Amino acid sequence: MSEDQDYLSLVYDLQNRLEILQTAIALQPEPAIEIVKDWQRSHDHMQTFFQTEIVNTDLEITPQNLSLQVEIDKQLKMIGVDLTMLQTSRSLTTWQKRHQQMCDRFILLQRYCQMH
C-alpha cells in the first residue's frame, strides 16, 4: 500500500467516525444533556485519533492536505465548544442554535474529508 493510500484510509476512517457522531447528534434535536456526555466522549476519541494518526503521522503530507488538516482541526475544536455549550444550555433556543451550528460544522468537515 502506498503512502497516499495509507493517508487516505486514515482520512476515510476519520470520515466514518464523523458520520457516526453526526448521525447521533442529528437524531437528537431536543435537549438531552445526559446524551451530550456520550457525544463528548466520542468527540474526544475522534480528536485524539485525528491528532495521533493523521496530524502526527510519518507519512508525507501535501501542502493542500496540510491546509485541510488545519481546517479540520479548527472545526473539531469548535464542535468541542458547541458540545460544552450544549451541556450547559438551559434554554431550548440555545440548544437549537448550538445543535444547528454543530450539524453545519459536520457537513463542512465531511466536505474537507472528501477534498483529500
**90 vs 77, higher pLDDT:** 77
Number of domains in the chain: 1
pLDDT of residue 58: 83
pTM comes to 0.90
Which pLDDT value is given to residue 22?
Answer: 96
| Neighbour count for residue 78 (Cβ, 10 Å) | 15
Is a pLDDT exceeding 60 seen at residue 97? yes
Q: Is the sign of the CA dihedral 63, 67, 68, 73 positive or negative?
A: positive
Residue 104 corresponds to which amino acid? D
Structural domain of residue 7, as residue ranges?
Answer: 3-115
- Indicate the helix (H) or strand (E) that contains 64: helix 63-88
- CA distances 48 to 3, 45, 93, Å, are 21, 5, 31
pLDDT tens digits for 33-89?
Answer: 889 999 999 999 999 999 999 998 888 888 999 999 999 999 999 999 999 999 888
Question: For the domain that residue 9 is a member of, what is the CATH number?
Answer: 1.20.120.330
Q: Tally the C-alpha atoms within 13 A of residue 101's C-alpha that lie toward its C-beta.
A: 18
